Structure 1
Amino acid sequence: MNEKKSYTLNDAIKKLEHYCAYQERCHKEVIEKLQQMHMIPEAIDVVLVHLIENKFLNEARFAEAFASGKFKIKKWGRSRITFELKKKGISAFNINKAIESISDEEYYSVFNELAENKVKLIKETNVFKKKKKFVDYFLYRGWESYLVYDKANELIK
């Protein structure tokens, strides 16, 4: 009863073209998908080469889209974005390019706005506990510690 669906090389290519066209993917995600499809390593290599040659798969484009999305939507800082891209096996060169694509002006503007809103939301009366909650929130989201501590000292007294 537990039969594995088998894919021909052409079926796998079509399926992965759709998978990559739907959303930007990194090499690691595509390889994992092919392994779940029970493809042999040689077939995985053929499919990867096809996807790269036909511009379905591009690590630099993925890194930039990922960094931009996580910054704009989830409001992550550069440290968290870098960490998550490293986990996905993206090269240091592409990580740096993606991080540089976030303008400093926009970065600091978003941080300041987030910080001011977060301070208002923390109901803690004890100054030290309030600072800790503030700092923990921003460090978890990957904002640089010097920014977080300076802003905590500025806003919480």
Structure 2
Amino acid sequence: MEKKSFTFEEIKLKLVNYCVYQDRCHAEVEQKMKEFLLIDEAKEEIILYLMKENYLNEERFTRSYIRGKFYIKHWGRNKIKMNLKQKQISEKLMNMCFDEIYEEDYFKTIQRIYEDYSSKQKGLQEYQRKSKTIKYLMSRGFEYEKINDIFD
């Protein structure tokens, strides 16, 4: 199937809609642009336009990503960080945006997941259940120190 060709304005509109549908980061927009055969100058112009018109806002993206992955998917900070790194979000911006997660909510979430998961581990010694549950929480991206806080 041959690629349909679009005008510059059509491509720009498609990318505006892509950003309006859901917050995007630069890496996602650049990936999306690969569908259209654009010269570098055109890509640059579109990125600048999207930023200028606030369709593309890396901080807003990072904040909504952190909120969603924690409050909806219940991921820990480590997993969120790893995924944001893959999206080429800077460490500095990440750290600035982690205030989207309230410490108390974080603690309660670890506690809740711990209790839920632990209660499903049948026929295990207490220490086995504990270590299995800690492993599970760490795989969800929660920090070992934070998990340990629930035992104090």
**Normalised TM-score (structure 2):** 0.91
The percent identity for this pair of structures is: 35
Matched, 1:46 2:34: no
Question: Would you say the 8 A contact 2:19–2:55 is kept in 1?
Answer: yes
Question: Would you say the 8 A contact 1:76–1:141 is kept in 2?
Answer: yes
Q: Deviations over 1:75-122 (max 9, x none)?
A: 011111111111101122220122122111111111112211111112
Counterparts of 1:1-157 in structure 2, within 5 Å, are 2-149=1-148, 151=150, 154=151
Distance 1:148 1:139 in 2: 8
Question: Would you say the 8 A contact 1:77–1:141 is kept in 2?
Answer: yes
CA spacing shift, 1:42–1:124, aligned 2, 3 Å: farther
Once the two structures are TM-superposed, the CA of residue 124 in structure 1 deviates from its matched residue by 4.2
Once the two structures are TM-superposed, the CA of residue 46 in structure 1 deviates from its matched residue by 0.9
Distance 2:52 2:123 in 1: 55
Regions of 4+ moved over 4 Å? none
**Normalised TM-score (structure 1):** 0.88
Q: Deviations over 1:8-45 (max 9, x none)?
A: 21011100110000000000000000012222222111
Question: Would you say the 8 A contact 1:7–1:39 is kept in 2?
Answer: no
Once the two structures are TM-superposed, the CA of residue 51 in structure 1 deviates from its matched residue by 0.4
Structure 2 unmatched ranges of 5 or more: none
Structure 1 unmatched ranges of 5 or more: none
Once the two structures are TM-superposed, the CA of residue 131 in structure 1 deviates from its matched residue by 3.1
Distance 2:26 2:82 in 1: 17
Once the two structures are TM-superposed, the CA of residue 139 in structure 1 deviates from its matched residue by 0.9
Question: Would you say the 8 A contact 1:118–1:134 is kept in 2?
Answer: yes
CA spacing shift, 1:100–1:124, aligned 2, 3 Å: farther
Once the two structures are TM-superposed, the CA of residue 71 in structure 1 deviates from its matched residue by 0.2
Please say which of residues 56-65 and 31-40 is displaced more in the overlay: 31-40
Distance 1:150 1:97 in 2: 24
CA spacing shift, 1:13–1:129, aligned 2, 3 Å: same
